[in-house]
Amino acid sequence: MAHLDASGPTVAVVGATGAVGREMLAVLEQRCFPLRALRVFASPRSAGSTLPFRGTSLTVEALTDAWPAGIDCALLAAGSGISKTMGPKMAASGTVVIDNSSAFRMDPNVALIVPEINMHADNAHSTKAGTSPTRGRIIANPNCSTIILLMAVTPLHRAFGIERMVVSTYQAASGAGWQAMEALERETRDALAGAAPRATLFHEPYAFNLFSHNSAVDPATGMNVEEQKMLAETHKIWNDPSIRISATCVRVPVMRAHCESVNITLRTPATLADIRRTLAAAATDPNYGGIRILDDRPANAFPTPLKAGGGDDVLIGRLRVDPSQLPTPPTATLDTTPTRGFDMFIAGDQLRKGAAQNAVQIAERIFTTAKR
């Protein structure tokens, strides 16, 4: 394999033939991650197939119960069942496991990490476990919609405090993997050919339709699993269970990149200029970055899935004061009035920052920092 780094880690991508696994390979290549070696694993039916990487081909190995020695880091994109079974075995062998599934996110002994926001949580967990910074533990990747949300609002939380958020998500097919992306394409072709709407994967037809997120709904609360994740994961990542959050998660007929409408109530009043200035500073901060303001009112140019798709940044736009939180009706001075209520619309690539990119960034922080 070309472009190897003898001082880098040996990395494995597990679930490498899936949508997120393939994106992990693309991100490792595009970010020039320093690798001693790279191995790719998938189910036995994919064993022997090849995947492109840095101008050559990687042969897919079958994942078995016998985890091989000598792998420093494993990026898991194979589902929660495999993660629960194999993750502890991998960690016990000395591998740092960065898991993209929901298996360990709410485990109090596992750090749930967005590197720009709370990489220190991994340091606390590894120190508590008495492990080396580059040896043997599990780190959880948050849910895609949570990562995209928190990248946009954490700078505001740090500057002014956030008391409450109301979030509505518009989630793309990519969040449910290749099967969902293929279903959207198939159903769209059928609809354009004049066929009656027909559900081929989800509980509702997908083409030219949108519906409540396909995760299970709790009959007691009425919340689906995706909405529950957003609440619980935000509380854990920010280490603040007092934040009040109401979420409505919806699947939309978009191929990739999630969008979210966000209404926030700050603890400390601010003006719209304060909000813009805070976000702009975070966007250029070498310790944060990963966000970009796209908010052109005269041109009606704001974040969209097509603009966010394939990119590394979470796009932030439709920045405005929430008039419902002002004591008087809106006036010409709306943008200069200090207030606690603001609205925004954001978009981020679910396969990249919402999954693969976030995992690779965690690995970068662990292994490149240790190398220095």
Residue pLDDT, tens place only, 274-292? 999 999 999 999 999 999 9
| 91 and 34, same domain (yes or no) | yes
Yes or no: say if 212 and 249 are a contact pair by the CB < 8 Å rule.
Answer: yes
- In degrees rounded to 5, what are phi and psi of residue 157? -60, -40
Look at the block and give the residue holding tokens 């603009």.
Answer: 307
Domain assignment present for 276: yes
Q: Per DSSP, which regions of the chain are E strands? A: 10-14, 37-42, 50-53, 56-62, 73-76, 96-99, 111-112, 137-140, 162-171, 211-212, 244-251, 258-270, 291-293, 314-321, 339-348
270, 337 in Cβ contact below 8 A?
Answer: no
- Which residue among the candidates 125, 157, 213, 258 is catalytic per the annotation? 258
Instruction: Kindly report the CATH number assigned to the domain that includes residue 319.
Output: 3.30.360.10
Tens of pLDDT, residues 109-149 = 999 999 999 999 987 777 555 566 677 899 999 999 999 99
Answer yes or no: do 106 and 51 share one domain: yes
Same domain? 26 vs 162: no
319 domain residue, yes or no: yes
Residue 229 lies in a domain: yes
Known catalytic residue: 73?
Answer: no
pLDDT for 326 equals 83
Cα separation of the two ends of the chain: 24
Tell me 356's DSSP state.
Answer: I
Mean pLDDT score of the chain, rounded to an integer?
93
Is residue 235 part of the annotated active site? The answer reads: no
The reply to whether 151 and 168 lie within a common domain is: yes
Residue 178 sits at φ, ψ, to 5 deg, of -60, -40
Within this chain, do residues 230 and 114 fall inside the same structural domain, yes or no? no
User: Is this structure's pTM higher than 0.85?
Assistant: yes
Task: Give residue 90's domain range.
Answer: 10-140
- Determine, yes or no, domain membership for 361: no
Same domain, 102 and 237: no
Asked if 123 and 24 sit in the same domain, the reply is yes
All residues at 6 or more sequence positions from 359 whose CB lies less than 8 Å from its CB, including other chains: 24, 75, 77, 98, 100, 141
SS (H, E, C) 137-165: EEEECCCHHHHHHHHHHHHHHHHHCEEEE
Kindly name the residue from 144, 157, 213, 259 that is annotated as catalytic.
144
